[in-house]
Amino acid sequence: MKVGVIGCGYWGPNLIRNFLQLPDVTAVACCDMDQAKLARVGRLFPTVELTTHVEDLLQDQRIEAIAVATPVHTHHVLGEMVLRHGKHLMVEKPMATSSKRCLELIELASEVDRLIMVGHTFEYTAAVNKIKEIVASGDLGEILYVSSTRVNLGLFQQDINVVWDLAPHDISIINYVLDKSPLGVNAQGTSHYKKGIEDVATVTLNYDNGMIAFVHVSWLDPNKIRKTTFVGTKKMLVYDDISTQEKIKIYDKGVEAPPYYETFGEFHFAYRYGDIFSPRIEDYEPLKVELQHFVDCIKHSKIPRSDGFSGLKVVSILEAAQRSIKSQGRFMPVVYRGLANHGATHPINGKEMAAVRLG
């Protein structure tokens, strides 16, 4: 098939490069209003068709699917145009600026019988899928809490804050690994350089079983850190995406309280310090796997792993976090529009999600 890419900035060239490597993709066309960016793409990929007009991609009957890699405030309008012209849509994270707009795209896709896939690339990494396998096996025991840090110096965004820019990665990872969504969130953030656009923040995700997850994001850290810790009742797991060789380490560590005691003097926690194990991971470029999955879903009429509902869940959580930040950290329930019970705020698991997909 022939595919299109709208946006040749930071992420667009990566999409183009990987699309060109797929055996099922015969041609790629690219659109951007910036002539300099188009010229750079032309130098890197001489076979790619270039245009400054979105209509050229929309009107091209040979193009079956279009990937949108533009600023988030344009995702809804461009996504709507792509779907209305009968193309399958891949849109980068976050899916849109509101859950209402996400739902509008999902409903439109159902009406025109086209797929939506959201660029939650970490769900296609070997490390995250290994973590999901380990958690599902029960090897870690019951998950007590998750702690995630995603910080670096820049890149400052002009239209969204650091939560909408960086936290979608961690939220999608946690949603995917645990196969459940939070009841509500508490979030705090502050703006140091541009009023109204928080550049450092912490989001706390609260779940129905008492489990909790912390997501710390920042554009103002001297070090680039990409680390997530899963603490279970049996073992603990640390995922370091920056590490080149041992991205996952499992610690056979834990704490146990005595089952029975009569006096305070008899009460002692038992701490376990066991081995550290790093599982072998067959690494690959996740974006290539993600795009191949997108193409396969189109060819075989399958629902993408990170479909529109996946993007909708993440945006719903981001909305609640934004409300909490503006309310000085107050608890805010997550409203899952159109997912179950017409916007119920209870956690949605994978089986319930499959039952409520439109179409």
**pLDDT > 50? residue 348:** no
Query: Same structural domain for residues 67 and 135?
Result: no
Query: Same structural domain for residues 204 and 339?
Result: yes
- Give the amino acid at 124: Y
Q: For residue 249, give the 3-state DSSP assignment.
A: strand
Strand order in the sheet with 27-31: 49-51, 27-31, 2-6, 63-68, 88-92, 116-119
Looking up tokens 């797991």, which residue turns up?
237
Query: Same structural domain for residues 161 and 96?
Result: no
Check which CATH number belongs to the domain holding 292 and give it: 3.40.50.720
The predicted structure's pLDDT at residue 2: 98
Read off the DSSP letter of residue 266: G
Read off the DSSP letter of residue 78: H
Q: For residue 173, is it within any domain?
A: yes
Query: Same structural domain for residues 248 and 110?
Result: no
The predicted structure's pLDDT at residue 169: 98
Where b means 16+ CB within 10 Å and e means fewer, 252-283 reads eebeeeeeeeeeeeeeeeeeeeeeeeeeebee
Q: DSSP for 115-173, please give it.
A: -EEEE-GGGGSHHHHHHHHHHHHTTT-SEEEEEEEEEEE-PPPSSS-HHHHHHHHHHHH
Cβ(182)–Cβ(115) below 8 Å = no
Cβ(196)–Cβ(157) below 8 Å = no
With bands split at pLDDT 50, 70 and 90, how would you rate the model's confidence at 274? confident
**Phi, psi (5° rounding) for residue 22?**
-80, 135
Q: For residue 182, give the 3-state DSSP assignment.
A: coil
Query: Same structural domain for residues 98 and 180?
Result: no
Query: Same structural domain for residues 181 and 229?
Result: yes
Query: Same structural domain for residues 88 and 169?
Result: no
Q: For residue 333, is it within any domain?
A: yes
For the chain, the domain total comes to 2
**pLDDT > 70? residue 341:** no
Q: For residue 359, is it within any domain?
A: no
**pLDDT > 50? residue 358:** no
Range of the domain at 105: 2-120+287-307
pLDDT tens-place string over residues 181-228: 999 999 999 999 999 999 999 999 999 989 999 999 999 999 999 999
**CA torsion through residues 176, 177, 180, 183, sign:** negative
Q: For residue 358, is it within any domain?
A: no
Query: Same structural domain for residues 347 and 202?
Result: yes
Query: Same structural domain for residues 94 and 156?
Result: no
The predicted structure's pLDDT at residue 273: 85
The predicted structure's pLDDT at residue 356: 38
Q: What is the mean pLDDT of residues 114-128?
A: 98
The predicted structure's pLDDT at residue 264: 59
Q: How far is CA 201 from the centre of its chain?
A: 17
Cβ(88)–Cβ(112) below 8 Å = no
CA contacts within 13 A on the Cβ side of 77: 6
Query: Same structural domain for residues 52 and 136?
Result: no
Query: Same structural domain for residues 98 and 196?
Result: no
Name residue 273's beta-bridge partners: 253
Q: What is the model's pTM?
A: 0.91
Q: For residue 116, is it within any domain?
A: yes
Check which CATH number belongs to the domain holding 272 and give it: 3.30.360.10
Q: For residue 137, is it within any domain?
A: yes
Q: For residue 14, is it within any domain?
A: yes
Query: Same structural domain for residues 21 and 79?
Result: yes
